Each structure stands twice: as C-alpha cells, then as structure tokens.
C-alpha cells in the first residue's frame, strides 16, 4: 500500500463532505485501487501526487468522486422486492390511483440504472391500458446518470440477473453492448441529487426504492434522509430499502409490513395493504433463466 495517511484523510474527508459516504480507516487499499487508474491517466507518478492535484483541479475531483462512489448493482437485485412490487405494491397503487391513472416512482441512488429499468419492464408488463408511469432516477454520480440516459449495458452486466425473455423483449444489440428499448427509456427521467443535502423540489411518489445506499452513511445522516424521504412519499405509498437496511427507530415516521420475503415501509398511520400477497404472481424471477 503506497497511499500516505494524509492523502487518505484528504480523500475520505472529501468523499464525506460531497456525498456523506464513509471511508473509514482500513479502507486505504480501496481508495488506492480506485484512484490509481485515474492517477495514471492524469500522468501522475503515484496516488499521492494525484491527491495533491485534487486540491486544485475541480474536474479531476469530480472524476475521483465518481470513481469512489460504490456503484454495485444488478437487474432485479435480490428478486424479492420486485416480486413484492408486482404482486402487492403495484396492485395497491393501481387500486388507489384510478382517478389519475398515473404512477410515480423514485429510484433514489440509481447507480447505472438497472433498478429503474427493471421496474420499467415490470410496468410494461403489468400497467393496465391507459395508465402512465414515470420513474425519477437520481444519483450523486454524474457518470452514473450519463449511463442511465444511454441505457447501454455490457454482456457482463446483462449476465447479472437479466432474465432471457426480458432481454429478448426489451433490448437490441448496440455493438458489443445491449441497449434498452426507447419505450422503457421514456419512462425514466434522470436528475442529479445528493441524498445527504436538502432535496430540490420533488413530486410526491407512490413508491420509493432507496436501496443499498443508507449502509454507507452515519446514523444522523440516515435519520435525516429517512425524514426527508418521508415528506415525498404519498401517505398511502411505499418505501423499499436494501435487505440489510431499516428505518431505524423512526416509528413516528415509518411503519413496517412484511410483503412476501421483504419488509415494506409505509408512512406511519397508513392502514395495511388491502391487496397484500393476494394477487397471483405473474412474474416469477426464479423461473427465469439468466441471459
Ligand atoms: C451500491 S449502489 C446501489 C444502487 C441501487 N440502488 C441498487 O440497490 O442496486 C449505491 C449508489 O448510491 C450512490 N450514492 C452514494 N452517495 C450518495 C448520495 N449522497 N446521494 C445520492 N446517491 C449517492 C452511488 O453513486 C451509487 O450509485
């Protein structure tokens, strides 16, 4: 390991200030592994001299932050939340939004877009005729948002959870990549949004996917984000977190219900879901074979 302690501290302070993500001592190897390719590209002899450059070069700093955000994601990640979406959450929203025939979803911390596009495929299959849907896909990483807009994925990325029938139905070959169909792209709008700072003006969402991002923040930041997310979820709406994430001790804000194999969070005081697990599962991820 060659990164100096002062460089590591500079970088972890920078990431914390800009994204609230924590790089605790012990993660020096990770910072070095992520910055070394950028240092080489920028013509720096080592990571320490690259970090000195980050002090003055704003464009390079943006690139470094993009490289340091953890963008791990996959199609239909963990399956169960998507099964709950199809079987219970979507039928509940459809039952309650007949007057507008519109469903509004937020993929907060969307990474390269697999979460948002997985949802568009289910909406394409299950939304009744005449209904519209909009998914707002947000992330702190501008590089990730560019990827969502492009909607292009490598074969390796497609191999991570994309069911073969969905690949055939919704993607076309684009050189060595696969590109998502325009009708699905039209459902997704991207916006730069840092969860750790005050939100810009947002619509009210029927369903929020806030998955696998709270784990990177400290307790106060998690609480603050959950408080602000509460303000933009419809009173009869839903919040889905990652499998190891919870709404902490915020019972005054969030109630919990089990839907299939997942915990679904709802604004406190909401009556339980009338359709819970009653609809036959029309989409069985485990029955699909990967691409
Ligand atoms: C591990 S990925 C999770 C992606 C997706 N939600 C999933 O579950 O597969 C975490 C994402 O959170 C984003 N992120 C990190 N800090 C953030 C912040 N302060 N505001 C918004 N997004 C952030 C990262 O850029 C990354 O794309």
pLDDT tens, position by position, 241-265: 999 999 999 989 999 999 999 999 9
Percent of the chain with pLDDT over 90: 90
Q: Which atom of ligand 1 is nearest to the CA of 77?
A: 9
Q: What integer pLDDT is reported at residue 274 of this predicted model?
A: 65
Alpha carbons 127 and 97: distance in angstroms, whole number? 12
pLDDT (tens digit per residue) in 21-50? 999 999 999 999 999 999 999 999 999 999
Cα(149) to centroid(ligand 1), Å:
16
Domain span(s) for CATH 1.10.155.10 in the chain? 5-68
Give Dmax (Cα) for the chain.
Answer: 62
Alpha carbons 7 and 218: distance in angstroms, whole number? 22
Q: Which CATH class is domain 80-287?
A: alpha beta
Alpha carbons 138 and 142: distance in angstroms, whole number? 9
Mean pLDDT for all residues in the chain: 93
Residue 8 has pLDDT above 80, yes or no: yes
Say which residue, 275 or 94, is predicted with more confidence.
94
Residue 279 has pLDDT above 50, yes or no: no
Cα(177) to centroid(ligand 1), Å:
23
The pocket around ligand 1, CB under 6 angstroms, is made up of 19-21, 69-73, 77, 109, 111, 115, 139-141, 144, 194-196, 211-213, 216, 242
Residue 19 has pLDDT above 60, yes or no: yes
Q: How many CB atoms lie within 10 A of CB 249?
A: 9
Alpha carbons 239 and 47: distance in angstroms, whole number? 40
> In residues, how long is the chain?
291
Residue 275 has pLDDT above 90, yes or no: no
Domain span(s) for CATH 3.40.50.150 in the chain? 80-287
Percent of the chain with pLDDT over 70: 93
Residue 91 has pLDDT above 50, yes or no: yes
Burial class (CB in 10 A: 0-12, 13-18, 19+), 63: middle
Choice from 213, 220, 240, 242 to test ligand 1 binding pocket (greatest atom count within 8 A of CB): 213
**Shortest CA distance to 114 belongs to which of 37, 67, 170?**
170
Which residue has the CA at smallest separation from atom 27 of ligand 1?
A: 111
Tell me the average pLDDT across 202-214: 98
Q: Which CATH architecture has domain 5-68?
A: Orthogonal Bundle (1.10)
Q: Which atom of ligand 1 is nearest to the CA of 196?
A: 19
Cα(157) to centroid(ligand 1), Å:
17
Q: Which of the 8 DSSP states describes residue 104?
A: E
Q: What integer pLDDT is reported at residue 233 of this predicted model?
A: 98
Q: What integer pLDDT is reported at residue 273 of this predicted model?
A: 74
Alpha carbons 158 and 174: distance in angstroms, whole number? 13
Q: What integer pLDDT is reported at residue 1 of this predicted model?
A: 59
Cα(99) to centroid(ligand 1), Å:
33
Strand partners, 136: 106, 189
Cα(77) to centroid(ligand 1), Å:
14
Q: What integer pLDDT is reported at residue 98 of this predicted model?
A: 96
Q: What integer pLDDT is reported at residue 88 of this predicted model?
A: 97
Residue 290 has pLDDT above 60, yes or no: no
Q: What integer pLDDT is reported at residue 287 of this predicted model?
A: 35
Which residue has the CA at smallest separation from atom 13 of ligand 1?
A: 109
Say which residue, 61 or 278, is predicted with more confidence.
61
Pair 102, 73: CB distance under 8 Å: no
Residue 223 has pLDDT above 70, yes or no: yes
Residue 214 has pLDDT above 50, yes or no: yes
Residue 74 has pLDDT above 80, yes or no: yes
Residue 130 has pLDDT above 50, yes or no: yes
Which residue has the CA at smallest separation from atom 12 of ligand 1?
A: 109
Q: What integer pLDDT is reported at residue 289 of this predicted model?
A: 35
């Amino acid at each position: 390991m060659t990164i100096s302690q002062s460089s590591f501290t500079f970088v972890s302070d920078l990431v914390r200030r800009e994204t609230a993500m924590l790089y605790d001592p012990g993660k020096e190897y990770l910072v070095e592994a992520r910055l070394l390719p950028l240092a080489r590209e920028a013509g720096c002899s080592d990571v320490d001299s690259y970090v000195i450059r980050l002090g003055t070069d704003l464009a390079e700093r943006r690139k470094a932050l993009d490289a340091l955000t953890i963008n791990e994601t996959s199609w239909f990640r963990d399956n169960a939340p998507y099964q709950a979406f199809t079987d219970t959450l979507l039928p509940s929203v459809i039952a309650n939004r007949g007057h507008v025939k519109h469903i509004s979803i937020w993929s907060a911390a969307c990474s390269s877009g697999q979460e948002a596009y997985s949802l568009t495929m289910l909406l394409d299959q299950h939304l009744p005729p005449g209904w519209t849907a909009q998914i707002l896909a947000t992330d702190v990483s501008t590089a990730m948002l560019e990827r969502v807009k492009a909607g292009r994925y490598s074969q390796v990325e497609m191999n991570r959870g994309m069911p073969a029938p969905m690949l055939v139905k919704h993607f076309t070959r684009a050189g060595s990549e696969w590109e998502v169909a325009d009708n699905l792209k039209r459902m997704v709008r991207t916006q730069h949004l840092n969860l750790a700072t005050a939100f810009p003006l947002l619509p009210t969402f029927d369903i929020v996917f806030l998955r696998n991002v709270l784990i990177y923040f400290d307790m106060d930041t998690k609480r603050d984000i959950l408080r602000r997310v509460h303000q933009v979820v419809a009173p009869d709406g839903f919040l889905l977190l990652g499998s190891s994430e919870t709404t902490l001790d915020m019972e005054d804000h969030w109630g919990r219900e089990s839907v299939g194999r997942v915990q679904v969070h709802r604004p406190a005081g909401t009556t339980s879901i009338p359709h819970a697990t009653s609809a036959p599962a029309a989409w069985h991820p485990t029955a699909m074979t990967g691409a």
